Amino acid sequence: MTTNIPAIDQHAAPTGGSTNYLNNTSGFWSWASTLDHKRIGLMYLVGTTLAFLAGGLFALLVRVHLWEPDGMLFDNPTYNQVFTLHGAFMVFLFVIPAIPGSLGNMVLPLMLGAKDVALPRLNLLSFYLWLTGAVLATLAIILGGFDTGWTFYAPYSLYTQKAVVTIGLAVFVLGFSSIFTGLNFIVTVHKLRAPGLTWFRMPLFVWALYATSILQVLATPVLGITVLLVAFERLYQVGIFDPRLGGDPVLFEHFFWFYSHPAVYIMVLPAFGIISELVSVHSRKPLFGYKLIAFSSLAIAVISFLVWGHHMFTSGQSTFAMFAFSFLTFFVAIPTAIKEFSWVATIWKGSIALNAPMLYTLAFLIIFAIGGLTGVILGSLSVNIHMHDTYFVVAHFHYVMMGSIALAFFAGLHHWWPKMFGVMYDETIAKIACGIIFVGFNATFLPQFIMGSRGMPRRYATYVPDFQVFHQASTVGAVILGVGIALMVYCFVVSLFQGKKAMVNQWGGVTLDWLTPTPPPLENFHEAPVVTTEVYDYSTLDLSTTRTPIA
Amino acid sequence: MSHDGHHSVVIPAPGPEFVPHTVAHHFDTPVQEFQAAKLGFWLFLATEILLFGGLFAAYFYYHETYAETFRVGGQQLDWQLGAVNTTVLLLSSWTMAMGVRSAQTSQKGKTLLFLGLTVLGALIFLGIKYVEYSAKNQHGLIVFSHLFDGYDQANKQLPWFQDYGGVMKDVPHGHLFFAIYLTMTAIHGLHVVIGAGLIIWVMKGAAKGRFHAGYFLPVDLVGLYWHLVDLIWIFLFPLLYLVP
């Protein structure tokens, strides 16, 4: 994709004197009231990363507690609170908002050749809603915590003497933060594409965010009304979910999973988008099956609305419903496998650069294959009955949420870090951190597959001694994982102060985000770009601005 | 803003009583701005429908499960007051449409008049709703002063659902109909209040002359919102008052 931007390298990287979005204004208020998508993206990055570190701390506490069969740290009610905090913080404050909020905000308008998202004020509102949700969630901890699991299943969530209304309100507010981000991205993609940037010239990260946005807009309101009804239930006993009062708790589960299954794809589709970009750029090769990947995102978005019942195989559905939900669940595997194979085919015979973003990408490809295939296993009705609510499920969704989504997020962060800040991190440290994370992650969750398949139930504070060896292996893995993540964060923070200046086009990308100065100026492009070539056409790459190709 | 070529598009005012509109910096044309806002707002309306969709799903589920409860419960509502409210909202949708039209044709006085009438419609609707709620309160079906009291374990009853008249005695879980009635109409009522607030906000802009043939976007969008509030009531009225 070339543009009519004349000789991009003249706007040499962050040399003194040039103004960019980071330094065009300064002071607290210039950030707190900014309408610039890039600054909002950075604020999301800081916020969601802090939430991730908090959620990770809760995870470590859970793992340390489970070192002994009788538990090491907490009494049982406290344990219930700690794992709930881990789940709620990770899901609602990190995994759902992190990629669209930070990297999506930062990169989507750049990739479209736009000056900003279509609705900048709404974008800032989204961030402040996220912040309000984070404050409310923290407040809920102070007000007595919550011990329902992140799923808030009725009737327990209606009876427990904890701050469920406060955390419910937090989830409601966070839901609208997510809705507004999705709405904004849909409008931006429809209305602010640069001249010549047709739908099938859009980078696949944009396609993935577009499919995500559809899900955010169409699924999240149902979660909103569900948590609102739980709050009403607790405040004035409406009885809609309360079996004592004639209500049906299974209705809650239907409502909840009608959102929360699509939410799984709200989380994972942006990760797919990042991986699509990265396999292409770091193999310097056009994507294999571009249109298939684009359409598979949309297919996943559609199918994801039809499979929520597979979370409820043991909740009392009709046999026919279970059969239908199981059957439809298998369909998700098709577009997902199309992506996985396309990524691998893209790397094949490419000019592969084994830098930190690419290492994370390769780690993703391995981990996601396991995470995805175990999902198919769990989708099979008869197997699911045995595996339901065991550590096998825990291991499966951590292979997707932590191993795939978080690792894709890290990959994207390493990839766009030089673009965002104009500096490079230490590649060696970044690669070591990646290796430690990969080892630590698998050490944590592979044992959980084994003990889950042998019957270890999830969410238990204690367990029979037979499982101790697996739990201890998992805990050791979690500590290794924690060390790796700490090293990665350290590497990023140090780069801000001591990092070498990044090249204009650090990796040799040909999408519009790499054809603007580094870091980008306030309105992203010095001249409005016009797209004249196809997407991922590396023959147009200006080699003077980037790394040399590997032979 | 270092760069060259930064020029905002300005839509001139059609007359001295109006003010020009400056298109936001990141849009190239007024049409782009208009279409972006409109698309975004339609998506927002879709989320509103889905939010109410959860409530409607709960309604249909319990209507199936406790048909008799819903039949008897529906009879306790005053369908005539409901019909009057339906008429009021339909008329207010008409005044809203006229308000949008007046803004589009740069008729400042008429814009303010019709928007004001719409707010009046909202107030009448809320007034009638208040009468209905307090009637339920006096008949002892819904006792609002006990709304936030917890479930009475000893007597196994809900303090807010007293059923003094005994009309719901023979049907299972009589409170469930009123719980759904109250939740749906209260959330709808909240939307009426928000809608009225938005119209008043738009009227302030209209009084300053911000809306005219060249730029009437906020009036248009608030109009869409008001029609949706009306539309939801069009479904609530027959489901709660007539169908049972």
What is the tally of structural domains in chain B? 1
Hey, are the CB atoms on B148 and A235 less than 8 Å from each other? yes
Residue A4 has pLDDT above 60, yes or no: no
- Chain A positions in Cβ-Cβ contact with residue B186 (cut-off 8 Å): none
> Residues near A364 by Cβ (< 8 Å), separated by ≥ 6?
A271, A275, A403, A404, A407, A408, A411
Q: Which of B51, B58, B172 sits opposite A224 (nearest CB)?
A: B51
Q: Which of helix, strand or coil describes residue B10?
A: strand
Interface of A with B in 153-182 (CB under 8 A): 179
The domain in which residue B71 lies consists of: 50-242
Show the domains of chain A with their CATH numbers.
38-545 (1.20.210.10)
Q: Which CATH number do you get for residue B152? A: 1.20.120.80
Higher pLDDT, A221 or A549: A221
Query: What pLDDT score was predicted for residue A109?
Result: 98
- Range A511-539 average pLDDT: 93
Query: What pLDDT score was predicted for residue B7?
Result: 67
Question: What dihedral angle (degrees, nearest 10) is formed by the CA atoms of A449, A452, A456, A458?
Answer: 90
CB A452 within 8 A of CB A394: yes
- Range A317-333 average pLDDT: 93
Question: To the nearest whole number, what is the mean pLDDT of chain A?
Answer: 93
Query: What pLDDT score was predicted for residue B120?
Result: 98
Query: What pLDDT score was predicted for residue A550?
Result: 47
Interface of B with A in 109-148 (CB under 8 A): 147-148
Query: What pLDDT score was predicted for residue A549?
Result: 53
Higher pLDDT, A12 or B119: B119
- Residue B149, in any domain of the structure: yes
How many helices (H) and strands (E) in chain B?
6, 2
Query: What pLDDT score was predicted for residue A500?
Result: 93
Q: What is the CA radius of gyration of chain B?
A: 23
Residue B4 has pLDDT above 90, yes or no: no
**Mutation to test the B interface, candidates A245, A253, A305, A527, most B Cβ within 10 Å:** A245
Query: What pLDDT score was predicted for residue A545?
Result: 76
> Residues near A332 by Cβ (< 8 Å), separated by ≥ 6?
A300, A303, A304, A307, A375, A379
State the smallest CA–CA distance between residue B113 and chain A in angstroms: 30
Lowest mean pLDDT across A7-21, A515-529, A531-545, B141-155? A7-21
- Residue B65, in any domain of the structure: yes
- Range A95-121 average pLDDT: 97
> Which amino acid appears at position A249 of this protein?
P
State the smallest CA–CA distance between residue A38 and chain B in angstroms: 14
Task: Give CA separation, B189 vs A256, B77, B219, B233, in Å.
Answer: 25, 16, 21, 9
- Residue B5, in any domain of the structure: no
Question: What dihedral angle (degrees, nearest 10) is formed by the CA atoms of A424, A428, A429, A435?
Answer: 120
- Chain A positions in Cβ-Cβ contact with residue B182 (cut-off 8 Å): 238
- Chain B positions in Cβ-Cβ contact with residue A238 (cut-off 8 Å): 179-180, 182-183
Q: Angle, nearest 10°, between helix axes A249-283 and A204-236?
A: 160
Query: What pLDDT score was predicted for residue A551?
Result: 38
Q: What is the 3-state secondary structure (H, E, C) of A220-246?
A: HHHHHHHHHHHHHHHHHCCCCCCHHHC
Q: Quick one: tokens of B13?
A: 């005012």
- Residue B182, in any domain of the structure: yes
CA distance A252 to A234: 14
Residue A10 has pLDDT above 80, yes or no: no
Residue A438 has pLDDT above 60, yes or no: yes
Query: What pLDDT score was predicted for residue A114?
Result: 96
Q: Which of B1, B51, B160 sits opposite A522 (nearest CB)?
A: B1
**Mutation to test the B interface, candidates A191, A230, A305, most B Cβ within 10 Å:** A191
Interface of A with B in 75-114 (CB under 8 A): 114
- Range A252-269 average pLDDT: 95
Interface of B with A in 56-85 (CB under 8 A): 57-58, 61-62, 65-66
CA distance A183 to A125: 12
Residue A340 has pLDDT above 90, yes or no: yes
Query: What pLDDT score was predicted for residue B149?
Result: 85
- What percent of chain A is modeled with pLDDT above 70? 96
- Chain B positions in Cβ-Cβ contact with residue A244 (cut-off 8 Å): 151
- Chain B positions in Cβ-Cβ contact with residue A11 (cut-off 8 Å): none
Please report the sign of the dihedral spanned by the C-alpha atoms of residue A438, residue A441, residue A443, residue A448: negative
Please report the sign of the dihedral spanned by the C-alpha atoms of residue B188, residue B190, residue B191, residue B193: positive
- Range B154-174 average pLDDT: 86
Q: A258, A270, A298: which is closest to A400 by C-alpha?
A: A270
A232 vs B: CB within 8 A? yes
- Range B7-12 average pLDDT: 87
- Residue B105, in any domain of the structure: yes
- Range A359-388 average pLDDT: 96
CA distance A199 to A325: 32
- What b-and-e string marks burial along A233-261, b requiring 16 or more CB atoms within 10 Å of the CB? bbebbbbbbbeebbbbbbbbbbbbbbbbb
CA distance A397 to A393: 6
CB A238 within 8 A of CB B186: no
Lowest mean pLDDT across A34-38, A370-374, A540-544? A540-544
Cβ–Cβ contacts within 10 Å for residue A51, how many?
A: 23
- Range A507-531 average pLDDT: 93
State the smallest CA–CA distance between residue B93 and chain A in angstroms: 25
Question: To the nearest whole number, what is the mean pLDDT of chain B?
Answer: 93
Q: Which of B3, B53, B183 sits opposite A521 (nearest CB)?
A: B3
Hey, are the CB atoms on B5 and A528 less than 8 Å from each other? yes
CA distance A457 to A442: 20
ipTM strictly over 0.85?
A: yes
Residue B244 has pLDDT above 80, yes or no: no
Over residues A444-460, the pLDDT tens digits come to 999 999 999 999 999 99
Question: What dihedral angle (degrees, nearest 10) is formed by the CA atoms of A282, A288, A291, A296?
Answer: -90
- Residue B6, in any domain of the structure: no
CA distance A459 to A311: 16
Query: What pLDDT score was predicted for residue A372?
Result: 95
Residue A540 has pLDDT above 90, yes or no: no
Query: What pLDDT score was predicted for residue B6?
Result: 56
Hey, are the CB atoms on A120 and B26 less than 8 Å from each other? yes
Is the whole model's pTM more than 0.90, yes or no? yes
Query: What pLDDT score was predicted for residue A8?
Result: 43
Q: Which of A179, A187, A251 sits opposite B39 (nearest CB)?
A: A187
State the smallest CA–CA distance between residue A72 and chain B in angstroms: 37
- Chain B positions in Cβ-Cβ contact with residue A229 (cut-off 8 Å): 54, 58, 183
Interface of B with A in 9-28 (CB under 8 A): 24-26
CA distance A371 to B182: 44
Q: Which of B25, B35, B55 sits opposite A225 (nearest CB)?
A: B55
CA distance B234 to B162: 29
| Banded pLDDT at B45 (limits 50, 70, 90) | very high
- Chain B positions in Cβ-Cβ contact with residue A113 (cut-off 8 Å): none
> Which amino acid appears at position B179 of this protein?
A
- What percent of chain B is modeled with pLDDT above 90? 80
CA distance A174 to A460: 28
Lowest mean pLDDT across A102-116, A312-326, A361-375, B225-239? A312-326
Residue B5 has pLDDT above 70, yes or no: no
CB A270 within 8 A of CB A212: yes
